[in-house]
Amino acid sequence: MNILVIGSGGREHCLVWKISKSPLAGKIYSVPGNAGISEIAECIDIGISRDNFSELVRFVRDKEIDLTVVGPEAPLVDGIVDYFNENGCKIFGPDRKASAIEGSKVFAREFLSRNNIPIPQGIVFERPDYKKALNYVKSVNEFPMVIKADGLAAGKGVVIANDESQAIEAIEDCFVRRKFGDSGDKIAIEKYLSGYEVSVLSICDGKKIIPMAPAQDYKRIFDNDRGKNTGGMGSYSPVPMVDEETYGRIINEIIFPTYDAMIKEGMIYRGVLYAGIMVSGGKPYLLEYNCRFGDPETQVILPGLKDDLLPLLLGCAEGDLKIEKLSWEENKRVCVIAASAGYPESSSKGDIISGLDYFNENEDAIIFHAGTKLKDGNTVTDGGRVLGVVSMGDSFKEARNKAYKSIKRIKFRGMQYRKDIALKAERSE
């Protein structure tokens, strides 16, 4: 089978890596890909916005591609699956209607509320209600408080405001400064829940949903969850805090009822349904749904999957998963992300990356590229999260030691990474 993977991040590198291990895999392409992906797939420089869908379909037909796998959320929300299906091209991912579960926080809140899925208390405001939103913040005066931009914001549209001034700033970013464009025309203000977060990804074929191993990611830029939100600075799997009972509650109280409600309301959801869960006071709540593989959760989930990924992706796309349960390695997996200078407020590009040769013959770690590209024979940074180092071990201590020993081999100007990824998991052993 010839495969196309759409996207350019660490998630897509991991997908290409895992797909390449399948005996069914033939030629693999990636659009646009990155420097690391180019080592195992042919990278093609085609845009992935709505304006490029016709060009992508022509490429798929020209290269006789059997399955396209979509990594990022934006093309899904823009309807790439609908366009491919209309043109007879097989593709993995939910259509535009189903992708609204991530594309609009307001749509998701309304859908989840009417189907009695446990979510945090909250209220929605639109841009003309700017003053009402400010008055609401002042009247509630309960902090921390969560402010969410309605649409896609590259993982940076959720603000945990610790006081009134931060809440007002978040509202003004959306309604006044229009930091997120149309994505900030509506906001949800939600009650902050204390506890711990966990990500549960599930594969879906439109009729059947199969949950994967849980993972936990780190959204803040600095250790001890300080600083700005990012797309994710690290992750680990499995999650010791999520025992069998808690995992069962997450699946049976949130994920399965959500999927049943989707079917009832006419959503044919095929692809990955990614649930961001908060466990507060022993009870799981749904914080958000995403319509694609998580990043960096994918980088610690897929290396632990024993099953061949390609037939699973194909089964979802065709609406006919042949498997009832997934098989997992018993090891522990840790991913540490190295980000560019200035991230997340700004992003340095063009800095030469050294130390990558270490990973060619090193069995202790896998490196997944994200913000990288080739320039004048060198691998250089291309902004944002640059790469992720993934290690495995019989314990979290072993996996962490391998990951941090390995990431120290990498050097580029302004490189920054957290030092506490999976530390709590290690201490729980």
What's residue 81's pLDDT?
Answer: 98
The CATH number given to 332-427 is: 3.90.600.10
For the chain, the C-alpha Rg in angstroms (whole number) is 21
What's residue 156's pLDDT?
Answer: 77
What's residue 95's pLDDT?
Answer: 98
- Alpha-carbon gap, residue 38 to 374, rounded angstroms: 9
Angle, alpha carbons 169-173-175 (nearest 5°): 110
What's residue 258's pLDDT?
Answer: 98
Alpha-carbon distance values, 82 to 91, 171, 264, 407 (Å)? 9, 34, 20, 40
The string over 178-208, giving b where at least 16 C-beta atoms fall within 10 Å of a residue's C-beta and e elsewhere, is: ebbeebbbbbbbbeebeeebbbbbbbbbbeb
Q: Can you name the CATH fold of 3-78?
A: Rossmann fold (3.40.50)
Q: List the end-to-end C-alpha distance of the chain, in Å, as a whole number.
A: 42
Same fold, 3-78 and 122-191: no
Domain ranges of the chain: 3-78, 122-191, 196-318, 332-427
Q: Can you name the CATH fold of 122-191?
A: Dna Ligase; domain 1 (3.30.1490)
And the tokens for 181?
């464009």
Q: How many helices (H) and strands (E) does the chain have?
A: 14, 23
What's residue 207's pLDDT?
Answer: 96
Class of the 196-318 domain? alpha beta
- Alpha-carbon gap, residue 295 to 231, rounded angstroms: 7
Burial bucket for residue 214 (CB in 10 Å: 0-12, 13-18, 19+) = buried
What's residue 86's pLDDT?
Answer: 98
Residue count (the chain):
429
What's residue 391's pLDDT?
Answer: 98
For the chain, 429 residues long, give each residue's pLDDT as a single digit of tens: 999 999 999 999 999 999 999 999 999 999 999 999 999 999 999 999 999 999 999 999 999 999 999 999 999 999 999 999 999 999 999 999 999 999 999 999 999 999 999 999 999 999 999 999 999 999 988 999 999 999 998 777 889 999 999 999 999 999 999 999 999 999 999 999 999 999 999 999 999 999 999 999 999 999 999 998 899 999 999 999 999 999 999 999 999 999 999 999 999 999 999 999 999 999 999 999 999 999 999 999 999 999 999 999 999 999 999 999 999 999 999 999 999 999 998 889 999 999 999 998 888 899 999 999 999 999 999 999 999 999 999 999 999 999 999 999 999 999 999 999 999 999 999
The pairing of beta strand 186-191 with beta strand 122-126: antiparallel
What's residue 360's pLDDT?
Answer: 87
Cβ distance 370 to 404 under 8 Å? Answer: no
